[in-house]
Structure 1
Amino acid sequence: MGTWSARPFGNDSAADWAYELDEASDWGVVSDALRVAAEAVPSDLDSDDAVTAIAAAEVVARGLGRVPESAGSVDAFVARVSAPPPEMVALAVSALAVAASAEGELADLWEGDPEWLAENEKLRSALTTE
């Protein structure tokens, strides 16, 4: 996995996944990415699936207007679709918890990096703040 930033779209897997948003007309592609993580045991979740889930959670937060402008594909997607439903927000919170879990492969790769931890906390806060 090529990584250049601790931000949700700061890696190859998330950036590649964002291209799927170009053709999407509903929240299905986001939901699919979130479900992979939300339904996994943290220690069994592949790091690529984890970064994709974190990126999908940011799309939900962007859809709620709780994060500033994001990757171009994200902003175009959000402009096309309605706000995410409450169940999508709950799914994003669950997926983020699993994807960023200290028990997961992705957390092992980041080795407790404070910037990565802060980015995940900022995203969690964006998803849970009314």
Structure 2
Amino acid sequence: MNQESIELIQNYYDAFNAGDMDTFLNLLTDDVIHDINQGKREIGKDAFGQFMGGMNRNYKEQLADMVIMATEDGKRAAAEFVVLGEYLQTDEGLPPANGQKYRLPAGAFFEIRDNKVARITNYYNLNDWIAQVGA
């Protein structure tokens, strides 16, 4: 496994957990591709920053139990983790928010270029999340 790529992804998630959006976004290429779980594909650091702004308004999340893997050439990586969250503000098309807490297994796949994240594809079970916050 490529240690440089593993460290990049670890830094990416460390910045996320610290709420350090400047560092978080600086680890992305300008033309980053973001495949949103069960959603559309967005391209560009600005679009990703706007997405994260909405996420940070509606959710308070920490990622735990992180396992990161990378290919030997460092061009691809994957992470598996648990999202420990709180639903703060109702997100469009989703159940009403009232501070519900959730614990959600998740994963992500990455393409890496020039020691930056060039693509991120996130996966989690939306039905599981809805069952946790909709009760």
Write 1 or 2 for the structure with the bigger share of helix: 1
Write 1 or 2 for the structure with the bigger share of strand: 2
- Normalised by the length of structure 1, the TM-score is 0.27
Q: Could you say which structure has the larger radius of gyration? A: 2
Relative contact order: is structure 1 or structure 2 higher (C-alpha 8 Å, sep ≥ 6)? 1
